[in-house]
Structure 1
């Protein structure tokens, strides 16, 4: 049907016998003005014309992942996520060993291997090295894997983020180099280097202004890599303490989750201004992860405290959401939001996998953690979570039982595709 209308409009456009009052196609009295707009609407041309953009509020799954974190697109993202949440869960969660190989045999290393996992536009999941000398690439469709890259067997980087054009940006930790990995041609490069403190950064965030912001650990400066100018810079206002990760909100702000710090720092990426939240956090390795949910909350997953907190972005209030059963130290490292509306904290030293339902704050113990530990994970196309093995010597995933699915635009979205 669309082909018929396109042909008709094209014929009308070129054969119109009306004499335009102006050769300016932005003149509404031009006979070609309406046919041109209709033609562009039918072919879903999203470029600007005459200061306006057609189809400016498309569904979330029609967006490129680089558009999902723009403020104007949040209503569509929120709507799509909530529609998947409503589908709920089917089968009980399970832990699946999806490959028989041992991790240490694959990477030829017995060190703690990985921390963090990221989705890429090519459909693959990339598991980020910790001590591993290699990046682990997993194809979630056929469960095959490849190894690539060359690193020294030290904690050169911790976590990172997917930036524009399929490039992964790794956060420097014990090195001065800022690494990037191009998932299109599987090439590793160094963007630059800076003189920094040891254990400098934990993770990164891709902001709407095109900058990759790095989360301070022992560093007091919030540094960034500007993907537009290809330069490394830093925010003027320093931080204090240390942070485990950052959470981007639709307002373009990054909330740094306090690990050692007793304050939550907030970076407004529109002008690089920095403020703090008045709530006093316990410090002492308290919180390890933060998850944005479509109801406008940031949930904070504990590392060595019992309390799960959330920040209500509408009221700026921090609220107790629940407590981890039988808490201990270094319990979790990373967390993933699934299409059933549940958050799955990734166990480091905690003896079990658990789920936290954002709908009613129910905490459920799922199954025992195998020997070893995990740090971070990435959501697959069928609602499964690919775990980043740290000391665990296995290829594992969590089958969440989600009946809904997040389309690729959401799985790659800078809101969630980071550590």
Structure 2
């Protein structure tokens, strides 16, 4: 006759194991009117005998008045009413959120902290670069100084790198090379400006002998092959700089010169095919450069209207997380979206922007994936949401100005602000990215 053993389950661990066993054996367990149930997705539901809309919907804004009483089910853990604590925590978070939003509404955009940067309207600085030391270096157009901004202390320096002429538009587009030096392509100058942020020394004689002329190149791109490509403004070629040897090339990639200049701006290298895409200023087509073959294509993405002299359709270009390139409108009434996967363009999805000229100068990608258009003459920052396909031209207003800002960079020890260098303004524009999430 088989022996039967009886197990006495008295320990706390044993009792807990028994409960778990019961839960696995039965899909629902009834405990004094309350039901503990596991659904098909593995979620655990505890249903009390008294269920009300108020008790089950406490996350909604209209449940502010919920309070524990005999008419509401309560969940007690070791005597603590966790439902009441959850409601209290939600109320506190909503209250703090409203306070922060109100506070940020007036402090997201700052044009008063860093001021006194010379006379308005001189076209002082243009492109800027974030150096390894965390500081922002702005290239001098007509200013005699390189502008250095410390985003953590809001200190500015216009005396360390100085002594340049003021009568010509000297340098424009700039990039940080693999050797950690900054290379700025020439507009009217005949040499490349090289800055070493580690020592704050500069060199304008290492790469010289470039052709004379006004506004030769505009923006610059560091390609994945380590070479720097300068976009032609009024020049007859793309400028190629090798920072490893300080050699330059103005003959390998020729382009047709458009009368009046202002040909291409705001270039970006697409990671999917390695090609560089430059936004058309006055030009009727996007300029596509293949760094692997040193060839250009200005027929695949074409058909844009020819702009009047001095009027640029788009100026800045930003690569979004979705792989598309968003070109910020200066005079155009829409954002230009370039899809490098299909080599197509879209000017209708983000249209309807006001038709004034010189609206925004460039763009910057924020850590949350949005794109900010830096205001030139516009009275607000342009906010582009590539996910929602929306634009916002009202939330981040700036004081009325005739001479705004050129380029912006995400900077700061915590990457919590955008520092925009003044093109003609007297102040640095600082956009608080922490407040941006609450203000918009």
Common fold by TM > 0.5: yes
Whether the aligned pair in 2 keeps the contact of 1:340 and 1:403 (CA below 8 Å) is: no
Query: What residue number does 1:376 align with?
Result: 407
Residue of structure 1 aligned with 2:216, choices 200, 209, 215: 200
Query: What residue number does 1:37 align with?
Result: none
Distance 1:301 1:100 in 2: 25
- Encode CA deviations 1:97-140: one digit per residue, 9 max, x unaligned: 363541118xxx97332112210111111122221111111111
Distance 2:126 2:246 in 1: 26
TM-score by length of 2: 0.67
Distance 1:97 1:305 in 2: 26
Provide the secondary structure at the position in 2 that maps to 1:401: helix
The list of structure 1 runs, each at least 4 consecutive aligned residues, that deviate by more than 4 angstroms after superposition, is 89-93
Query: What residue number does 1:356 align with?
Result: 384
Residue of structure 1 aligned with 2:239, choices 223, 226, 241: 223
In the alignment, structure 2 segments of 5+ residues that lack a partner are 1-99
Change (3 A) 1:149 1:357: same
Give runs of aligned pairs for residues 205-354 of structure 1, distance below 5 A: 205-234=221-250, 236-240=252-256, 241=258, 242-250=263-271, 251-276=273-298, 277-284=300-307, 285-319=312-346, 320-354=348-382
Residue 397 in structure 1 maps to residue 415 in structure 2: no
**Alignment RMSD (CA, Å):** 2.3
Change (3 A) 1:346 1:125: same
Whether the aligned pair in 1 keeps the contact of 2:360 and 2:382 (CA below 8 Å) is: no
Residue 156 in structure 1 maps to residue 170 in structure 2: yes
Higher relative CO (Cα under 8 Å, sequence separation at least 6) belongs to 1
Change (3 A) 1:100 1:161: closer
Residue of structure 1 aligned with 2:198, choices 159, 181, 184: 184
Task: Compare the two structures and name the one with the higher strand fraction.
Answer: 1
Change (3 A) 1:403 1:288: closer
Residue of structure 2 aligned with 1:129, choices 103, 123, 140: 140
Displacement of 1:309 in angstroms is 1.9
Find the structure with the greater CA-based Rg. 2
Distance 1:316 1:290 in 2: 15
Query: What residue number does 2:15 align with?
Result: none
Distance 1:182 1:160 in 2: 13
In the alignment, structure 1 segments of 5+ residues that lack a partner are 1-88, 405-419
Query: What residue number does 1:166 align with?
Result: 180
Whether the aligned pair in 1 keeps the contact of 2:266 and 2:315 (CA below 8 Å) is: yes
Distance 2:114 2:302 in 1: 46
Distance 1:159 1:259 in 2: 15
Change (3 A) 1:392 1:324: farther
Whether the aligned pair in 1 keeps the contact of 2:384 and 2:391 (CA below 8 Å) is: yes
Q: In the comparison of the two structures, how many residue pairs are matched?
A: 313
Displacement of 1:351 in angstroms is 2.3
